[in-house]
Structure 1
């Protein structure tokens, strides 16, 4: 599924790949409509009916992920509202073991996320994730989302890489297709990003896993450190 011997860099999505997407889904589909309803004197279902189409219209664009944009458009402090449900932020199964194995193997690990810097900081405070990887890049630093093929060219400025020896792991099929089109040699889909929802069907061309324990044994075999075997 992954040719570890050919790699020197592993790009990792954050939400839905390393962290449970339940936090984000709960916030946008449940918590935000309640707070929006309170602010605008609406019934929660009416707020949801107004919000969801508005949000979905921006899907795939940088605005979709931009906390500043939604704070201004909805007249609410989105980052503060996310903090209200911050106890839901957490790792997906086997992630810490996987990240430890990556480090032990000598592979470079870089989080490449569409998450806006403000909620990114919130998630790092809750998880300490930054201590487990070599670097973190937000698409907001480059002004374009990972779905944009030009993102991967511009990423070279912040996290130089050789496409032929790089793996991208993400729960978004459009992002993985974008990475593959940009020449990323190996792509891997996460099929169960939200612990509270059913896993998705597999991509017809990109291999997928439900959890990292499916690829941990092969990764550990690559490691030169006896303690990580």
Structure 2
């Protein structure tokens, strides 16, 4: 990818899961740990658990409920908060994400976390990884009532933060979220080449991708 035009960027908006943190924790939780514990709790086979859960996950994907621990706790009759703690040792920072955050802050950029993660999930991750000090604000889409895939999230964010989309950089591992940001007018967009360290690189469609956080600091 070409060097970022840092002189044209005042605000840096960053996703959390898959962008700053390794997505392996979340993928393992939703695709392995939760189905197994659901099967045990309901005394059914793992195969039947998968058959019940996967259509539910597909139905709510990209909506605020998908990211809501309260919703899934009610829906599945399990404490999602407690189950996440059982595998919290898998929460990990992506390579050089902290180096990137340090450099961007030192350069005087406004740095804001915007995540679809529920506040419960955000709190758990902040217990494991010291991220809060890097950010002016840490915003959950649940604060606004709209997931980042929804244009209403971006209108609420702009009203809340008062920032210029034309002078903003946004990095996210979700292509649907990046496309929503592009429709809103965020000028500088980057995907993440390998959000889950256990799954290898992936196609990032029309978006240039972060492969090495140190590399995109060039020119800062």
Q: Same fold (TM over 0.5)?
A: yes
Question: Secondary structure at 1:201's aligned position in 2?
Answer: coil
Question: What does the per-residue CA deviation read over 1:62-110, in whole Å, with 9 as the maximum and x for residues that have no partner?
Answer: 0111111000000000011001100000101110100011111110110
> Is there any run of 5+ residues in structure 2 with no aligned partner, and where?
none
Q: Alignment RMSD, CA only? A: 1.1
Give yes or no for contact 1:167–1:185 (8 Å, CA) kept in 2: yes
The alignment status of 1:19 with 2:21, answered yes or no, reads yes
Aligned partners of 2:41 and 2:116: how far apart in 1?
A: 28
Question: What does the per-residue CA deviation read over 1:109-149, in whole Å, with 9 as the maximum and x for residues that have no partner?
Answer: 10000000001100011101111222100000000000001
Give yes or no for contact 1:117–1:138 (8 Å, CA) kept in 2: yes
2:200 pairs with one of 198, 201, 204: 198
Give yes or no for contact 1:7–1:165 (8 Å, CA) kept in 2: yes
Aligned partners of 1:163 and 1:169: how far apart in 2?
A: 13
Any residues of structure 2 matched to 1:41-60 within 5 Å, and which?
41-60=43-62
Give yes or no for contact 1:33–1:44 (8 Å, CA) kept in 2: yes
Deviates more, 1:194-203 or 1:118-127: 194-203
The alignment status of 1:101 with 2:103, answered yes or no, reads yes
Aligned partners of 2:159 and 2:59: how far apart in 1?
A: 30
Question: Secondary structure at 1:64's aligned position in 2?
Answer: helix
Any residues of structure 2 matched to 1:201-212 within 5 Å, and which?
201-204=203-206, 206-212=207-213
TM-score (norm 2): 0.96
1:174 pairs with one of 173, 176, 187: 176
Give yes or no for contact 1:147–1:174 (8 Å, CA) kept in 2: yes
Aligned partners of 1:63 and 1:201: how far apart in 2?
A: 26
Question: Secondary structure at 1:212's aligned position in 2?
Answer: coil
Question: What does the per-residue CA deviation read over 1:190-217, in whole Å, with 9 as the maximum and x for residues that have no partner?
Answer: 121000002111312x21122312212x
Matched pairs, number: 218
Deviates more, 1:87-96 or 1:158-167: 158-167
TM-score (norm 1): 0.92
Give yes or no for contact 1:20–1:90 (8 Å, CA) kept in 2: yes
Aligned partners of 1:134 and 1:211: how far apart in 2?
A: 24
Aligned partners of 1:129 and 1:189: how far apart in 2?
A: 20
Aligned partners of 2:26 and 2:160: how far apart in 1?
A: 26
Q: Give the 4+ runs in structure 1 shifted more than 4 A.
A: none
Aligned partners of 1:172 and 1:166: how far apart in 2?
A: 18
